[in-house]
């Protein structure tokens, strides 16, 4: 019997759950089932849905669907547009954070105007930070705007050595910036693209082996590991215009446990990257009686299919891993065990409108 270790429930600050408008790729019910199977008990959902979550009406519709479907706890991001600053204080309070897409990616959300960027960064006062998709030269540009506006900026999916160097310098100057990296940028590189084809395409794209090595060598600058779980169907990925993005909720923790086994990461740092830092950066409330049991000795090969995510494929298929999720508990209830998701749709809670969690059945108190 190999050692079972209990970790706090993981918090994934970057997932795409596709509701509304992309239910054939993922729903709140399927994506949060994948989360629980991966030991993730709290997800922050991205706003590049269809329609995108950029106003009260869209936010309410997504909230309604999340309330009905989510099996783990969650909060929803708002998306920035050229015209929606300032977002109302009530919306800011209810959102996970404000997502600004500065670089191009899946969906139409993008802010390229400097005045709009300044307006958003000046006027955002939410409990969550401004989360920015910025690549290359846009990283120092956003650092400069953080210095100018005082906005708390969280950089999404940093993937290159030079970007990380800029973030290190910004932190050394005392600027309130944080960053996340994804498992796919830690494990895969552009050398995997010939093998993976369009199934290895995402934004930011897989980088060079030197970039990947720089992420590992600079783990001290990295605040969180987040999946950027971005499901698209096999048919879409194999089609003529494959959308960027890969699923990752069910493989993040086993990959990180493998790194612990290999001596590339300590268990303490794993918990900081996937739980403590995400909670602090996004001002998230504790989840009592919430944990994940992992079997540190389990050896397995990542399969092609058999996943809980609706798209049922993985860019990590074929990797040999060491460590596996055995059981997940959320607020006192076992919600995943031995391959089976037990939590029902609607049992997850919105952590921005529920001020405390006392016992698994008690209704939360809303502050809106
Ligand atoms: C994401 C998606 O599919 O929604 N795709 C991706 O390649 N990461 C969008 C995003 O996070 O940029
Ligand atoms: Zn994303």
Q: Cβ contacts of residue 104 below 8 Å, gap of 6+?
A: 110, 203
Q: Could you give the CA distance from residue 128 to residue 122 in angstroms, rounded to a whole number?
A: 14
Pick the closest to residue 310 from 233, 363, 249, 242 (CA basis): 233
Q: Report the half-sphere exposure of 66 (CA within 13 A, side-chain side).
A: 30
Average pLDDT score, the chain: 95
pLDDT (0 to 100) of residue 243: 97
pLDDT at position 331 is: 97
pLDDT in tens, 193-221: 999 999 999 999 999 999 999 999 999 99
Pocket test for ligand 1, best of 15, 202, 207 (most atoms within 8 A of CB): 202
- CB of 25 shorter than 6 A to ligand 1: no
Q: What is the CATH number of the domain that holds 33?
A: 3.20.20.140
pLDDT mean over 176-193: 98
Average confidence (pLDDT) over 280-295 = 98
pLDDT tens track for 68-81: 999 999 999 999 99
Q: What pLDDT, on a 0 to 100 scale, did the predictor assign at position 104?
A: 79
The best mutation among 228, 232, 247, 309 to test binding of ligand 1, ranked by most ligand atoms within 8 Å of the C-beta, falls on: 228
Asked whether 245 lines ligand 1 (CB < 6 A), one says yes
Summarize the confidence of residues 231-259 as an average pLDDT: 98
Q: Is 315 in the pocket of ligand 1 (CB under 6 A)?
A: no
CA of 201, closest atom in ligand 1: 7
Structural domain that includes position 25: 4-367
CA–centroid distance, residue 133 to ligand 1 (Å): 10
d(CA 231, CA 23): 10
For residue 106, what pLDDT is reported? 80
**Distance, CA 13 to ligand 2 centroid (Å)?**
10
How would DSSP label each residue in 15-80? Answer: E---TTT-TTT--HHHHHHHHHHTTEEEEEE-S-SSS-S-SHHHHHHHHHHHHHH-SSEEEE-EE-
3-state secondary structure of 281: helix
Give residue 109 CA to ligand 1 midpoint distance, Å. 11
Q: What is the pLDDT of residue 161?
A: 98
- Binding site membership of 352 for ligand 1 (Cβ less than 6 Å): no
The whole-number pLDDT of residue 1 equals: 59
End-to-end C-alpha distance for the chain, whole angstroms = 49
Taking CA atoms only, the protein residue closest to ligand 1 atom 9 is 106
The answer, yes or no, to whether residue 362 has pLDDT greater than 70, is: no
- Which pLDDT value is given to residue 107? 78
The whole-number pLDDT of residue 355 equals 56
What value does the mean pLDDT take over residues 101-124? 92
Residue 53 burial (CB count, 10 A): 25
Average pLDDT over residues 122-140: 97
Q: How far is the CA of 48 from the centre of ligand 1 (A)?
A: 8
Decide: 228 and 248 in contact? Cβ < 8 Å. Answer: yes
> Which ligand minimizes its atom distance to the CA of 227?
2
> Structurally, how many domains does the chain consist of?
1
Mean pLDDT of 288-312: 98
Residue-wise pLDDT for 309-355, tens only, equals 999 999 999 999 999 999 999 999 999 998 999 999 999 999 999 75
Which residue intervals of the chain are DSSP H helices?
28-37, 56-69, 89-94, 114-123, 138-149, 161-172, 183-187, 193-196, 209-217, 234-238, 252-261, 267-271, 277-281
Ion ligand 2 neighbours (CB, 5 A) are 228
Query: What's the pTM value of the predicted model, to 2 decimals?
Result: 0.95
């Amino acid at each position: 019997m190999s050692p079972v270790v209990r970790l706090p429930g993981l918090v994934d600050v970057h997932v795409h759950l596709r509701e509304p408008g992309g239910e054939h790729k993922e729903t709140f019910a399927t994506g949060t089932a994948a989360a629980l199977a991966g030991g993730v008990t709290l997800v922050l959902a991205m706003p590049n849905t269809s329609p995108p979550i950029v106003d009260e009406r869209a936010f309410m519709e997504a909230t309604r669907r999340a309330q009905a479907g989510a099996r783990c706890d969650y909060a929803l991001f708002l998306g920035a547009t050229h015209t929606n600053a300032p977002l109302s204080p009530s919306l800011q309070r209810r959102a996970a954070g404000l997502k600004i897409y500065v670089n191009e990616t899946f969906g139409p959300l993008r802010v390229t105007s400097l005045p709009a960027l300044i307006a958003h960064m000046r006027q955002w006062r939410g409990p969550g930070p401004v989360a920015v998709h910025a690549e290359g030269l846009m990283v120092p540009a956003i650092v400069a705007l953080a210095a100018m506006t005082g906005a708390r900026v969280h950089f999404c999916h940093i993937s290159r050595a030079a970007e990380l160097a800029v973030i290190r310098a910004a932190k050394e100057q005392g600027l309130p910036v944080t960053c996340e990296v994804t498992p796919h940028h830690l494990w895969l590189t552009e050398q995997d693209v010939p093998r993976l084809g369009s199934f290895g395409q995402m934004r930011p794209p897989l980088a060079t082996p030197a970039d990947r090595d720089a992420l590992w060598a600079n783990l001290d600058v990295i605040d969180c590991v987040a999946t950027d779980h971005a499901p698209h169907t096999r048919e879409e990925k194999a089609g003529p215009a494959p959308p960027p993005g890969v699923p990752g909720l069910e493989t993040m923790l086993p990959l990180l446990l493998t790194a612990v086994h290999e001596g590339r990461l300590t268990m303490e740092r794993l918990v900081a990257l996937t739980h403590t830092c995400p909670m602090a950066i996004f001002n998230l409330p504790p989840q009592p009686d919430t944990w994940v049991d992992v079997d540190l000795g389990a050896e397995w090969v990542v399969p092609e299919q058999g996943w809980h995510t609706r798209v049922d494929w993985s860019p990590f298929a074929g990797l040999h891993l060491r460590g596996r999720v055995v059981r997940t508990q959320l607020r006192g209830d076992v919600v995943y065990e031995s391959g089976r998701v037990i939590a029902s749709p609607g049992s997850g809670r919105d952590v921005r409108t529920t001020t405390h969690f006392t016992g698994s059945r008690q209704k939360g108190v809303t502050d809106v």
